[in-house]
Structure 1
Amino acid sequence: MKRFKILALILAIITLFSLASCKKDKKTTYTVSAPDGAPVMAIAEIMKNDDKYSCDIISASDVEATFLKREKDFIIAPTDIGMKISMQTGEYKLCAVTSWGNLYIVAKEGTVFDKNSMTCSEFLSQFSGKSVSSIGVNAVPDKSFKYLLDKAKVSCTINPSNAPDIQAGLKEGTIDYAILGEPAVTGASMKVSGLKILCSISDLWEASESCGFPQASVFAKSSLKENVIDEFLNRVRDSINYLNESEDHALELGNFMEQTGKSALKGAIVKKAYKRMSQKFVAVNKSCIDEITNFLNAIGESYSYGVFYEKN
Structure 2
Amino acid sequence: MKKTVMTILVLMIAAFATGCSEKASEKPAEPVVFKFMEGVTAITAGSMISEKPEMGRDVEYEIISSPDLLASSIIQGEADMAIVPTNLAAQARAKGADYVIAGTATWGNLYIVGTEAMESLDGLKGKTVQTFGKGLTPELVLNMVLAEEGIDPEVDMDLEYMNSAAEVAPLLVSGKTSIGLLPEPALSSALAKNKDLKVLFDINKLWAEANKVEKGYPQSCLVVKKELVEEDPEFVEKFLEEYSKSIEWALENPEELGTISEEHSLGPDSESIVNGIGRMNIGQFSVGESLSEYRAYYKSVMDFDPEFIGGSIPDEEIYYER
TM-score band by shorter chain is 0.7 to 0.9
After TM superposition, the structure 1 stretch with the greater mean CA deviation from structure 2, 89-98 or 65-74, is 65-74
1:109-133 CA-partner distances (Å, limit 9, x unpaired) = 2316xxxxxxxxxx11111122222
Equivalence map 1:123-162=2 (5 Å): 123-156=120-153, 157-161=158-162, 162=164
Partner residue, 2:194 = 192
Q: Give the gaps of 5 or more residues in structure 2.
A: 1-5
Report how far residue 306 of structure 1 moved.
Answer: 2.4
Equivalence map 1:61-80=2 (5 Å): 61=67, 62-80=69-87
Give TM-score scaled by structure 2 length.
Answer: 0.83
Partner residue, 1:303 = 313
For 1:251 and 1:56, locate their aligned partners in 2 and report how far apart those are by CA, in whole Å.
23
Report how far residue 51 of structure 1 moved.
Answer: 4.7
2:42·2:266 contact (CA, 8 Å) conserved in 1? no
For 1:63 and 1:281, locate their aligned partners in 2 and report how far apart those are by CA, in whole Å.
24
2:105 aligned to which of 94, 98, 108: 98
Give TM-score scaled by structure 1 length.
Answer: 0.86
Report how far residue 137 of structure 1 moved.
Answer: 1.7
Taking a change above 3 Å as real, the CA distance of residues 192 and 264 of structure 1, as seen in their structure-2 partners, is same
2:75·2:97 contact (CA, 8 Å) conserved in 1? no
1:79·1:216 contact (CA, 8 Å) conserved in 2? yes
Partner residue, 1:220 = 224
Q: Which residue type is aligned with residue 215 of structure 1?
A: Q
For 2:25 and 2:109, locate their aligned partners in 1 and report how far apart those are by CA, in whole Å.
47
After TM superposition, the structure 1 stretch with the greater mean CA deviation from structure 2, 179-188 or 219-228, is 219-228
Partner residue, 1:280 = 283
2:46·2:261 contact (CA, 8 Å) conserved in 1? yes
Q: Give the gaps of 5 or more residues in structure 1.
A: 113-122
Q: Which residue type is aligned with residue 60 of structure 2?
A: S
For 2:263 and 2:285, locate their aligned partners in 1 and report how far apart those are by CA, in whole Å.
29
1:3-59 CA-partner distances (Å, limit 9, x unpaired) = 8557624631342223432x34x45x4321121111112111111112543212223
Bigger Rg, which one = 2
Q: CA RMSD in A?
A: 2.1
1:83·1:94 contact (CA, 8 Å) conserved in 2? no
For 1:87 and 1:44, locate their aligned partners in 2 and report how far apart those are by CA, in whole Å.
31
Q: Which residue type is aligned with residue 59 of structure 1?
A: S
1:90·1:307 contact (CA, 8 Å) conserved in 2? no
Equivalence map 1:166-245=2 (5 Å): 166-211=168-213, 212-224=216-228, 225-245=232-252
Report how far residue 201 of structure 1 moved.
Answer: 0.7
Partner residue, 2:3 = none
- Secondary structure of 1:86's counterpart equals helix
Partner residue, 1:115 = none
Equivalence map 1:16-55=2 (5 Å): 16-21=21-26, 23-24=27-28, 26=29, 29-52=31-54, 53-55=59-61
For 2:170 and 2:77, locate their aligned partners in 1 and report how far apart those are by CA, in whole Å.
38
Q: Which residue type is aligned with residue 320 of structure 2?
A: Y
For 1:281 and 1:236, locate their aligned partners in 2 and report how far apart those are by CA, in whole Å.
12
- Identity percentage over the alignment? 22
